[in-house]
Structures are given as C-alpha cells and as structure tokens.
Structure 1
C-alpha cells in the first residue's frame, strides 16, 4: 500500500497547504499595516473619541445653527423689502392698516402683552416610580411630541394671540415634531427643557391648560415619575415675529 503523501489525494492536499500559508502571511501583513496607519492617525489619542471627528449630533447642531443664521438673514431682507414696497406702492392709510393687521394675525410681526409660559422637561436621571405607581418604561420618562402639541393646542383654545416655542414664533403652518428626545421646529433642533410662551389673557390661558384632557394625562406622569411641569405668568413679554419662509411645499403626483 502506498503512503498517503504519495497518493493523488495527498498531492492535492499539499498543493492547498502552500497557498494557505501565503494567504495567512498576507493577512498578518495587512493587519500590521492597518495598526501602523491607525497609530499614525491617532498620534497617541483614542481615535474613537477624537474631538476632531464629527459626530452625527454635532452635524445636526451645526445645521441647526446654520438655519438660525439663515432665518436672521431672511428676516432682515424681508424687512428691507417691506419698507421698499410700502414706499413705492402708493397704498392708502386704510390699506396699510389692513396689511399690518394681516401681518399681526399671521404672526410675522412682534407681539407684546401679558403672557403665560409652560416649561416641560424629562424626568431626572435614574428616576423611579413614586409609591403606588408601576416601574417606569423608558418612554415614560421623556417628553413626547403629543405632550408639546397638547400644550400648544390648549393655549390656542385659551385665546392666545401668539405663541412662541423655545425662541421661535409659531404660525398657522408650523409643525411641532419630536424625533427621539429632541424637538425639530422649522428646521432647527432643540433639547429639553422645552418652554412654550403664549400672549393673551393669563386667566383664560391657564384655565385652558387645566381643562385639557391630554395635559391631565401628562400630569399623571409628572406625579408618578417626576417629569417637569412649570406654569408661570408674566406681566409683559414680547414675542418675535416669524422670520422663516411662508411658501408652502407639498408633494405632487408623478406624471
């Protein structure tokens, strides 16, 4: 009987062993190159936490800041255009007064008056349930879109003449949206605590908050898990005019 090393099967096995050793050596060489490159890149720092590497949250904040700057630029240009239009259009005093009324109702001009502000916040870190309540789930401890929308809706129902969320004025097409634990409003991103300010009759505004079923449900979570809820009344507050675009964008069917 011949030795297996001299058989055709043994010959085939030997032919596969040699390329395998070469491939293994190549893999180790490539790994060494990667380690050297990483070391040169890091320069003695941890490249996972290098502040020079742009995180997604940093990019979002940069875009939010950029949108804020564009809003300021838009507002300045709009002010200049409005001034030129009023100078050259030859409108009557009655027409000018009507235009100012429409701008005020549309939320594009400043608004001053007595106000009520509502501040909502996430529960404290490591929050636990108060006695008599079940242990919280993660969603029980953060502010949701429905909570912010409930406050805005109640303030409108209470006769608010204008509403500001954080530092932005709301208009009829404004959408209060939350993604995860952040608020996205008119192209800008905010983190809690969230402050909503409404100009109007303070008594009616606070009564509307008390009458809202959605807010009553939220207050149960405030009591159970410590979510933030604060209502303040102010003598005089000036809300900024809305400075963003008023053009409507909507989907169209593909032709």
Structure 2
C-alpha cells in the first residue's frame, strides 16, 4: 500500500514529547522529594494558588514552652544536685575506704591472735599430756604405796586360818597377843602380802596387844575364835609357814597348849583397809622442825 507523501513528511517532522519527571529525576532525589507529607504539599499548593506566598511564622504552643522550661529547670536542679553531691560522695568514698583499711587491720590482728592462741593451745595440750602422764605415774605409785602400807582395800587368793583356845583352856593356856603375833610374823615371812585378824588389817602402824585377858588389834578388841586371813600364793603359803622360824614356834604352841588350828585355801579373800592414824611425831623431810603437827610453831 502506497501512503501519501505529505503524510509521511508530517509524521517525520512532528516534535518528540518530553519524558516524565519521575523518569529523568535521579532516584535519590525522587525518593527525598516524595517523602514529603502529601497533606503539607497540598496545603502549600493551595497557598500558592491563592497568592499567599508569605512565609508563615510558626509560633510554638504554650505547653511546649512550659515543657521546655520545666526540662531546663530539671536539668539545672540535677546539675546543681550533682555538683553539691560530689563532695559528699567523695567523703563517703574516703570514709568507706578508711573503714575497709581499718577492718583489714583488725582482721589481720585477729588472725594473728588466732595463730597465737592456736600455738598456745597446742603447747598447753602437749603440756597437759605430759602432766597427765606424770599424774598417772604418781597415781600408780600412790596405789602401790597404799597396797604396801595397808591403807587400801585388797583382794586375792590366800589362806584363811581359824585359831581358838583349847577345850580345857585356862588362864595360862589361852591364846595371847604374842601368840597371834607369832603366827602373823610367820605368815609375813612365808610370803603373805596382806594380813588381817578378825577383819582388822595389819600394817606398820597397827599392832596386837593384850589388855588384861582381852586381845586388841589396831586398838580394837577382838574375840575368839580368831580368824587370820592372809593373801598370798595358796599353793605354797602353808608349806612355807612350816619352814619359817616363827611358824615352827607357832606350831609348837599349838601342840603344847592344844590350840585349835583350822587352815583352808581360799580363791578370793577381801581384806579391808587399815585404819588411819594421826601422825604426831613424824614430819616431812623438808618441813620446819620447829613447827608443830598442825603447822604451828612450837611454844618456847
């Protein structure tokens, strides 16, 4: 199809239409411009169309002014309080540091005292152990001394001998104190460790004495039959009694005066302690010889 020549020329000479603004405007500028509030742009366009081109002075609202003023006052108060509180805080900090130092010194002192007390306690414990050992040794020595001296209750195996006057005894054939003493001395010599006559324990401070016809042991009267109890080895005590000189003298009296003599071995004999006596003439080795028995000086 052949087009008219004039039409072709008109189409060629027609001017080109400009591109839209959003096409030619840089992207960043377009984004910034379009970010404006549409209502604000609309109001601006209306003012421009009405011929009101004077810039409108924006007056702050009175609440905003008061808020700003209050904020300023608060800021000033806080600043003033901060300035005023700074010396107090510094003093408090210094006082706290001083207290910490003081408490640290006290703690070190207390720790030193604890160390001293611990060492002292250990020394006292060691000393206590030593003293306790000495006390135990002294206790053992005292106990043995009481056993040897007769001032403690004892028990053990031994021999019990009952002696009495003969059936036809008279004043001249009765058992006397020296007769019982002969039997007791024979038992000591035979190996007896403790002896009592009618439950009267014999020791160095005791004795057997005659008062008229009555026999007194440790100062107390005893009556026939006389029971002589001796702790020792029951297997050998009677046999060894026959071998001693005092024992032979005793058995001569038994046969000559017709004494009743009944011995028996006993598995367990209990003997009481000897009665204590007041010492009147004996003093301690290091005591004042001029002092009396009660610790008082003698009267010149």
Which among 267, 273, 288 is matched to residue 241 of structure 1?
273
Q: Residue 107 of structure 1 corresponds to which residue in structure 2? A: 150
Q: 1:212 to 1:239 in 2, by over 3 A?
A: same
CA distance in 1, matches of 2:280, 2:160: 29
CA distance in 2, matches of 1:208, 1:246: 35
Q: Secondary structure at the match of 1:234?
A: strand
CA distance in 1, matches of 2:149, 2:236: 22
Question: What TM-score do you get using the length of structure 2 for normalisation?
Answer: 0.45
The alpha carbon displacement at 1:248 in A equals 5.0
Which among 155, 163, 167 is matched to residue 187 of structure 2?
155
**Higher mean displacement: 152-161 or 179-188:** 179-188
The alpha carbon displacement at 1:216 in A equals 3.4
The alpha carbon displacement at 1:246 in A equals 5.0
Q: 1:213 to 1:93 in 2, by over 3 A?
A: closer
Q: Residue 224 of structure 2 corresponds to which residue in structure 1? A: 192
The alpha carbon displacement at 1:207 in A equals 2.0
Does structure 2 conserve the Cα–Cα contact (< 8 Å) formed by 1:120 and 1:229?
Answer: yes
Q: 1:248 to 1:167 in 2, by over 3 A?
A: farther
CA distance in 1, matches of 2:249, 2:135: 51
Across the two proteins, how many residue pairs are aligned to each other?
Answer: 152
Larger Rg: 2
Which structure's relative contact order is higher, taking Cα pairs within 8 Å and 6+ residues apart? 1
Deviations 1:146-184 (A, max 9, x none): 210111111111121111111111111211112343211
Once the two structures are superposed, the pairs formed by residues 120-139 of structure 1 within 5 Å of their partners are 120-124=163-167, 126=168, 138-139=171-172
Does structure 1 conserve the Cα–Cα contact (< 8 Å) formed by 2:195 and 2:201?
Answer: yes
The alpha carbon displacement at 1:218 in A equals 4.3
CA distance in 1, matches of 2:185, 2:257: 24
CA distance in 2, matches of 1:248, 1:162: 26
Does structure 2 conserve the Cα–Cα contact (< 8 Å) formed by 1:182 and 1:192?
Answer: no
Q: Residue 120 of structure 2 corresponds to which residue in structure 1? A: none
Question: What TM-score do you get using the length of structure 1 for normalisation?
Answer: 0.53
Q: 1:215 to 1:144 in 2, by over 3 A?
A: farther
Which among 136, 140, 162 is matched to residue 119 of structure 1?
162
The alpha carbon displacement at 1:249 in A equals 5.6
Q: Secondary structure at the match of 2:204?
A: coil
Runs ≥4 in structure 1, deviation > 4 angstroms? none
Once the two structures are superposed, the pairs formed by residues 8-87 of structure 1 within 5 Å of their partners are none
Q: Residue 84 of structure 1 corresponds to which residue in structure 2? A: none
CA distance in 2, matches of 1:175, 1:216: 21
The alignment's C-alpha RMSD in Å is: 2.6
Does structure 1 conserve the Cα–Cα contact (< 8 Å) formed by 2:159 and 2:263?
Answer: yes
Deviations 1:22-69 (A, max 9, x none): xxxxxxxxxxxxxxxxxxxxxxxxxxxxxxxxxxxxxxxxxxxxxxxx
The alpha carbon displacement at 1:204 in A equals 3.0
The alpha carbon displacement at 1:236 in A equals 0.6
Unaligned runs of 5+ in 2: 1-130, 283-299
Q: 1:149 to 1:248 in 2, by over 3 A?
A: farther
